Amino acid sequence: MTSSSPWIRRVALTPPSLKDNTADADRLVAALKKELATERVDIDLDLLAQLPAILRRNDFCARCSVFRDRGGWVLTGIDRSDHPRPAAGLAVDLGTSRVVLLLIDLADGRTLGEEAFDNPQLAFGPDVLARLHHAESPGGLKELKDLVIGGLNRAIDRLCRSAGIEPADVCAVSVAGNTSMTHLFLGLEPRWIIREPYIPVVNRPGVLKAAGLGINVSPFARVLVFPNIGSYFGGDLIAGILFSKLHQRNDPALLVDVGTNAEVVLGHKDWLIGCAGAAGPALEGGVARMGMMAGPGVVDRVAIDPETRRFDVHAIEEKPPTGICGSGVIDLAAQLFLAGMIDIRGKLVSAACGDHLKIIEGIRHLVVVPARQSATGQDLTFSQVELDSLVRSKAAMYTILETLTMTVGLNLSELGTVYVAGTFGCFINPRSAIAIGMLPDLPLDRYVPLGNSSLQGAALALTSAAAIDEIDCIRDRITYLELNVNPDFMNRFSAAKFIPHTDVGRFPSVKSQRKEPPHAGHAG
Amino acid sequence: MTSSSPWIRRVALTPPSLKDNTADADRLVAALKKELATERVDIDLDLLAQLPAILRRNDFCARCSVFRDRGGWVLTGIDRSDHPRPAAGLAVDLGTSRVVLLLIDLADGRTLGEEAFDNPQLAFGPDVLARLHHAESPGGLKELKDLVIGGLNRAIDRLCRSAGIEPADVCAVSVAGNTSMTHLFLGLEPRWIIREPYIPVVNRPGVLKAAGLGINVSPFARVLVFPNIGSYFGGDLIAGILFSKLHQRNDPALLVDVGTNAEVVLGHKDWLIGCAGAAGPALEGGVARMGMMAGPGVVDRVAIDPETRRFDVHAIEEKPPTGICGSGVIDLAAQLFLAGMIDIRGKLVSAACGDHLKIIEGIRHLVVVPARQSATGQDLTFSQVELDSLVRSKAAMYTILETLTMTVGLNLSELGTVYVAGTFGCFINPRSAIAIGMLPDLPLDRYVPLGNSSLQGAALALTSAAAIDEIDCIRDRITYLELNVNPDFMNRFSAAKFIPHTDVGRFPSVKSQRKEPPHAGHAG
């Protein structure tokens, strides 16, 4: 956060006279051009109409809020210089499941509040595909757009009320989301995103007017929409790179975002290469599908004593467990493997699971929390089907990392830092992810959790003019690796479908921790 | 008119593939950037939304209409490449009295039609001041804006219907008007235009969205609003300079626009200096006030036989006379002077006027058309009060020309060309204007009538990209001469209040034509 804001500028104009009869707008624009060292300052016509009164009310001194719009700048608000209204910015992480908002004081970069809401498009299905199909039905696209904009406007109201400001005080918004969410947000047809050759309507939406999008903030506010690389590599990733500063590093590092899709970027200041799992056939559904969203009562950490096989389950806010989130699932699988309760193929081992094993509708289930301890009064279980799916997902993730690093001639062990972004609220424990062979067996201190890097990247764009200018540079520098057409991918994927890997030598730290399962009683 | 249009571009895009999955918008923008040799091409979000369908309907070939927006370009429409809809431009002369529209085919610069209507703001008074005062009453500004926009929309409908196109086919508009009319058109408060130190809200409105202004053309159309120099030197003059090519000449020339105000520009390719009469106290009301607008039955030419003093009055379309327009007034005064019916102070000479003289309410009137020949059944007269006003106006005009040329060290006789713009439809006869000493006594072939140069300049902006780029250059190159603060102005003005001038030696051609009035019977 910077202390002197790039977006708030005070100007003291020379009042007009017979010798200097420059128009109000031209006078202000000339001063702002000088102040901002730019060739272009735009002012909306309706804001122009307010200039004469505002300038004369305060002896031609004014507090201007400005924003970057590609090469130039745009005036997003003007007020008297003494005792002006607050000027706020709003960063939005436009998640498939959850939309998170951060309200920022543009004058000093201070956080004024945070809000989140479930993406109301969930009514049409938890996964993106169902929504994109709904968008093709008559009126469907508008319905989906209106849902997310409506949710956003209600959240803005709540956020502003609790921060003691008006929505009209918000004059800059930045939005980071994946390509599909961004298209629905903008009301753009996603039809060709999901059909070969997978073409978005736009990759660089740029800076738009909030009013044109239906967002109830200042009528002069601008919305920076993070660009995407393609249909499966979105603005949320670009925001994540911006926040991690991967693009400024001297040595190569990896950024892993295990969201609805598994998206990965490798690089440093000279090059960036990225790929996304959803484009490949292996990761359909993704890791996220298995877990629910974070919230009170959601299991986010699991420990199993390898000797007693006693479960120690942690639920958020210590509430009775209601379900299990992504990081909880990875923890669970890792602990099951280390306690010898699943084998190297991820199959439940009857002899080791004991009472925890149940057959429901012919499918083997592991009871994670018994009915008497759960919030629902039902057993909280995890099925063999879900385990199989997790194994495919983790194999895909590892294969993506392996393929990406090998493509640039590096070894996974050469990675100095692995940034782990989590857009779920529950963050993956690298130790567990290593234990199941989802992430490479690097020293734990090389794993750096980023939190909601999409939101933080969006927030960075509201506190730094340099950051805004970096966004398009990052986008243009990324080489996108198409996994669909990579011949080695499927071979590597098959090898990675064991826990932790067919080549256990790659995971020395896991081997030492594991308790061998009993030899009898494997799953059938 | 250019044959290959700057605003219509055909692009043939490479259809997307798995190897080239650039987004639709980015693909189009890249092609247009290359085609237009520019760094910036903007596309409205709502137009962006139409791209996928339009591009796929015609195998990624498209006919694009584009427009210049400051440094860059903007897409104003896209259609299939084969059999597209017409793409039209609309040039508007936003006159105080009359609004004139020219519809242009953007593909070839051909004129598709012309329309005109009386400015509906005339309901609040024929002069600008009454309207500007009305703009300060509650709701008044909106009322005035709505009146002119409403009139424009109705005229656009008529014009398009007769040309066989739709208003939605119009994707570029250019508007030239004086500073006050431009402010009312944009809905900008003109309050400070008419109060010292006379400050407009904006001098460079630039390129705006037609939809934002309420103009019913294509929702993606752009409106180029000609810039003004100051409160009394408007975009109509800039359009006039653009059309006359004064700014490209090697030798100095003068552009005179005798509209509601008397506005004058002197210069050539290296410099331009301008001034406007309304800023000075002498020209209040202006020449225009005296005449009515051109139209059927309006007297536009007057001849008086110096021997018989018989009047030969020409009315437009040979209809029975209803009134007299600006050029008719100047003709009348010149002919009265040459026939010895007014003296060198502009006073009616009783002995020479004979039957033509009448006293109405104590004021001497000249009967121009007797009741039996007029359309109204009333005498069509011109009073001594109007003559006195005309003498002040012509004196002011001459003094402006004299002051302007002397300021740059030139003599009036050194002017190679004098462009005379007429925004009334009736054009001033230079011979008459010289006879009364309104324009300098130069050989008649140096006077070049420009017609409605405001409209023609606006039209030029729709047929030439180079012309658009020249507009701001012209504006920025003009030095504005403030007559209010010129110490010699009033002395020169007093000397010019005689017909043709105190120094008759300056008007050798007039002296020889004139019949001396009888020595007795001067006006009292």
Cβ contact, residue pair B21, A231, below 8 Å: yes
Residues B217-240 as b/e (b if ≥16 CB within 10 A, e otherwise) read bbebbbbbbbbbbbbbbbbbbbbb
Chain A residues with at least one Cβ partner in B under 8 Å? 16-18, 20-26, 39-40, 45, 48-49, 51-53, 70-71, 186-189, 191-192, 196-205, 208, 212-213, 230-231, 482, 484-485
pLDDT, tens only, B202-218: 999 999 999 999 999 99
Mean pLDDT, residues A154-166 taken together: 98
| pLDDT recorded at residue A70 | 82
Q: What percent of chain A has pLDDT over 90?
A: 73
Q: How far is A455 from chain B (nearest CA, A)?
A: 24
Q: Which of A13, A19, A21, A480 to probe by mutation at the B interface, max B CB count within 10 Å?
A: A21
With a cut of 70, say whether residue A260 has pLDDT above it. no
Cα gap A332→A312, rounded to integer Å: 10
Tokens of B492: 């020169």
pLDDT, tens only, B447-501: 998 889 999 999 999 999 899 999 999 999 999 887 767 778 888 989 999 999 9
Helix (H, G, I), strand (E, B) or coil at A187: coil
With a cut of 90, say whether residue B89 has pLDDT above it. yes
| pLDDT recorded at residue A426 | 53
Cβ contact, residue pair B18, A482, below 8 Å: yes
Cα gap A270→B438, rounded to integer Å: 72
Cβ contact, residue pair A201, B23, below 8 Å: yes
| pLDDT recorded at residue B282 | 34
Chain B residues touching residue A189 (CB < 8 angstroms): 49, 52-53
| pLDDT recorded at residue A285 | 41
In this structure, of A41-55, A319-333, B412-426, B433-447, the range with the lowest mean pLDDT score is B412-426
| pLDDT recorded at residue B398 | 92
Q: How far is B20 from chain A (nearest CA, A)?
A: 8
Q: How far is B188 from chain A (nearest CA, A)?
A: 5
Cβ contact, residue pair A45, B208, below 8 Å: yes
Supply the mean pLDDT for chain B: 90
With a cut of 60, say whether residue B522 has pLDDT above it. no
In this structure, of A122-131, A253-262, A338-347, B28-37, the range with the lowest mean pLDDT score is A253-262
With a cut of 60, say whether residue B287 has pLDDT above it. no
| pLDDT recorded at residue B514 | 86
Chain B residue with minimal CA distance to A51? Answer: B201
Residue A291 banded pLDDT, cuts 50, 70, 90: low
With a cut of 70, say whether residue B290 has pLDDT above it. no
Pick B24's closest partner by Cβ from A51, A199, A212.
Answer: A199
Q: How many CB atoms neighbour CB A265 within 10 A? A: 29
Cβ contact, residue pair B18, A200, below 8 Å: no
Cβ contact, residue pair A23, B48, below 8 Å: no
With a cut of 50, say whether residue A53 has pLDDT above it. yes
pLDDT, tens only, A376-406: 999 999 999 889 988 988 888 899 999 999 9
Q: Which of B126-140, B159-173, B303-317 is most confident?
A: B159-173
Pick A202's closest partner by Cβ from B26, B200, B202.
Answer: B26
| pLDDT recorded at residue B432 | 93
Helix (H, G, I), strand (E, B) or coil at B465: helix
Of A239, A243, A1, the C-alpha closest to A110 is A1
| pLDDT recorded at residue A515 | 81
Q: Which of B203, B275, B472 to probe by mutation at the A interface, max A CB count within 10 Å?
A: B203
Q: How many CB atoms neighbour CB B377 within 10 A? A: 9
Cβ contact, residue pair A189, B53, below 8 Å: yes
- How far CA A314 is from CA of A145, A426, B214, in Å, comes to 37, 12, 60
* Between residues B286 and A306, the one the model is more confident about: A306
pLDDT, tens only, A108-134: 999 999 999 999 999 998 778 899 999
With a cut of 80, say whether residue B431 has pLDDT above it. yes
Cβ contact, residue pair B21, A199, below 8 Å: yes
Chain B residues touching residue A224 (CB < 8 angstroms): none
Cβ contact, residue pair B52, A17, below 8 Å: no
Of A85, A6, A4, the C-alpha closest to A462 is A6
With a cut of 50, say whether residue A524 has pLDDT above it. no
Residue A523 banded pLDDT, cuts 50, 70, 90: very low
pLDDT, tens only, B226-285: 999 988 889 999 999 999 999 999 999 999 987 666 789 999 999 999 988 653 333 334
| pLDDT recorded at residue B71 | 82
Cβ contact, residue pair A197, B22, below 8 Å: no
User: Which residues are within 8 A (CB) of B49 and not within 5 positions of it... i.e. 6 or more apart?
Assistant: A186, A187, A188, A189, A201
Cα gap B71→A190, rounded to integer Å: 32
Using an 8 Å Cβ cutoff, are B463 and B109 in contact? yes
Cβ contact, residue pair A212, B45, below 8 Å: yes
Cβ contact, residue pair B25, A204, below 8 Å: yes
Chain A residues touching residue B212 (CB < 8 angstroms): 45
Backbone φ/ψ region at A427: left (φ over 0), alpha (ψ -120 to 50), beta: beta
Chain B residues with at least one Cβ partner in A under 8 Å? 16-18, 20-26, 39-40, 45, 48-49, 51-53, 70-71, 186-189, 191-192, 196-205, 208, 212-213, 230-231, 482, 484-485
Mean pLDDT, residues B189-196 taken together: 93
Residue A433 banded pLDDT, cuts 50, 70, 90: very high
Q: How many CB atoms neighbour CB A346 within 10 A? A: 23
Cα gap B315→B496, rounded to integer Å: 30
In this structure, of A141-145, A222-226, A322-326, B90-94, the range with the lowest mean pLDDT score is A322-326
Pick A23's closest partner by Cβ from B16, B21, B203.
Answer: B203
Cα gap A422→A256, rounded to integer Å: 9
Q: What percent of chain B has pLDDT over 70?
A: 93
pLDDT, tens only, A86-96: 999 999 999 98
Cα gap A416→B519, rounded to integer Å: 110
With a cut of 90, say whether residue A364 has pLDDT above it. yes
Q: How far is B343 from chain A (nearest CA, A)?
A: 39
Q: How far is B315 from chain A (nearest CA, A)?
A: 43
With a cut of 50, say whether residue A289 has pLDDT above it. no
Chain A residues touching residue B205 (CB < 8 angstroms): 45, 48
| pLDDT recorded at residue B293 | 67
Of A140, A96, A138, A142, the C-alpha closest to A120 is A96
Residue A283 banded pLDDT, cuts 50, 70, 90: very low
CB pairs < 8 Å spanning A and B: 127
Residue B426 banded pLDDT, cuts 50, 70, 90: low
Cβ contact, residue pair A188, B70, below 8 Å: no
Chain B residue with minimal CA distance to A183? Answer: B49
A486: which DSSP letter?
-
Residue A337 banded pLDDT, cuts 50, 70, 90: very high
| pLDDT recorded at residue B3 | 41
Cβ contact, residue pair A203, B25, below 8 Å: yes
| pLDDT recorded at residue A308 | 92
Q: How far is B21 from chain A (nearest CA, A)?
A: 6
Cβ contact, residue pair A199, B231, below 8 Å: no
| CB half-sphere exposure, B98, CA atoms < 13 A | 19
